[in-house]
Structure 1
């Protein structure tokens, strides 16, 4: 009997990250998640848009060379392919200047992307793709079709609106925050921060979200599934850069979570391990094989922390 291949759809920005003194790299949080899900053996589709220009053609060519589907990446003559000017500070943290009115700000609703969502096990999206009304409206239509909506909050100033975040959280089954984003959203909602458990329970009750992830940097990550809490440490590695580390963490998480058979330990071990593995390499989407990751994971076994 052939093993079921799980499918995830990633909605939003696909772009070129331009780093000083380096070649451009393909980026965009939804695409980064898709890349690592594909590496983990899932079927992936990316709903996005690029310009009918040299950068857009080069981007599609590279994605196809990775054997990732471009069937739902639209090509438009009306808007250019997205570029982001990225800088990295002394702590290896990346900062981005995100150009507006680019192709992925104007993603169309099509019969094709509706159809692909009908057969998907998850829809992954973030806040940035909702900065323009066109893509925002398309996203909300997609959320009504998908049965498992994964919201990677991923706040990028000044491209977010608490009213939209509020609406998106109401349509979310799994939400991922980092520590700063959790505090920011609580502030937006006029909720005093007491501790992580209290904060998570508040969000679960307010929005009906059963699953919440909080990534805590060097202190690991916390996963809440209904009233169960699981805290895992990070894996110490030599950091090459942190670009895409949260995206690879989420892809690792979903690659086990969507199987609906693994334990919380299996899910979190995969998430923490993939995030650390990518942080130890250059770029958000480095070349690697599943065997490379397997060897890394075997060398770094994880145990849960008390919480």
Structure 2
């Protein structure tokens, strides 16, 4: 049986200059993991509206398994503007369906079968979805091979020290970028030490299996208690960077679950995220030369 990988949190529409595209970090993550032959699930909520119907139809057409009830709140949207380098800025609407993801027996059963889950801070801005995410994580077994990935994904002012602390206690893999690491260091009152030392500090404090640090054009790192992997960022012609980080996490997770080393998984993740940067939107179809690098059985 294929291993189950879950993206949990916001499923929404990115409204870009050239039109709207399906998005949301958890959906992006699950989609990219599914391209490597894993059983990708998206856990979220959408509205009883046209956009909600379109979300379900779109994700189903991409081969995703959905745990996305339609509830009496509007489907989430994000206004995305891009700077000259294709780097996005977000205006995320509040009071939407994914702020109100219900916890059900069906979700509890899914949690017990899940091999890896990815969640962030954004969907925890509301109490209802935060409690659902916590219950799902707590229902997952704590076997050595299971991954609970906190892709911190700080957006606007939708985070707090308490939310981040609780998430760090529940995860065993942290994914963070260099700008977010600076914000977290200020929030936690860490001394003015360099980025690498901050990463080692977080690994020790929260007993993490892995910490992934992405630094844009300056490369990326994967820290483990026993070592560190560094891979340079390839130079590509960027269309936009929307979803690139999620594709990194999805492909890295897939490689680890399929028995690749941290360095092998890291190199694949960098190639995948570089490719996604050359395409518009968060969910491009990956070419065979990338997906064939893992055993698809």
Shorter-chain TM-score tier:
over 0.9
Match of 1:275 among 267, 273, 276: 273
How far apart are 1:193 and its partner, in Å?
A: 3.2
Give the whole-Å Cα distance in 1 for the aligned partners of 2:255 and 2:113.
Answer: 18
CA contact (8 A) 2:36 2:291 kept: no
Instruction: Find the counterpart in structure 2 of residue 115 from structure 1.
Output: 109
Question: 1:187, 1:61 → 2: CA distance?
Answer: 42
Deviations along 1:154-207, one digit per CA (max 9) or x if unpaired, are 000110111110111011100000001111111111102322331112112222
Which ranges of structure 1 fall in alignment gaps of 5 or more residues?
Answer: 298-307
For residues 238-281 of structure 1, the C-alpha deviation after alignment (integer angstroms, 9 at most, x for no partner) is 1111111111111111010122x211221111111111111111
Deviation at 1:227, TM superposition (A): 2.9
Distance 1:94 1:222 in 2: 22
8 Å contact from structure 1 (residues 7, 42) kept in 2: yes
Conservation of the 8 A alpha-carbon contact between 1:277 and 1:293? no
Could you say what the CA RMSD is over the residues aligned between the two structures, in angstroms? 1.4
Verify the 8 A CA contact 2:203 2:224 in the aligned structure 1.
no
Structure 1 residue 292: Cα displacement = 4.9
Q: Helix, strand or coil: the match of 1:24?
A: strand
Q: How many residues align?
A: 288
SS of 1:222's partner is: strand
- 2-structure distance, mates of 1:184, 1:269: 27
TM-score of the pair, normalised by structure 2: 0.93
> What corresponds to 2:70 in structure 1?
75
Secondary structure of the 2:89 match is strand
TM-score by length of 1: 0.90
Tell whether the 8 Å contact from 1:93 to 1:241 is kept in structure 2 after alignment: yes
Is structure 2 residue 141 aligned with structure 1 residue 141?
no
Runs of 4+ in 1 over 6 A off after TM superposition: none
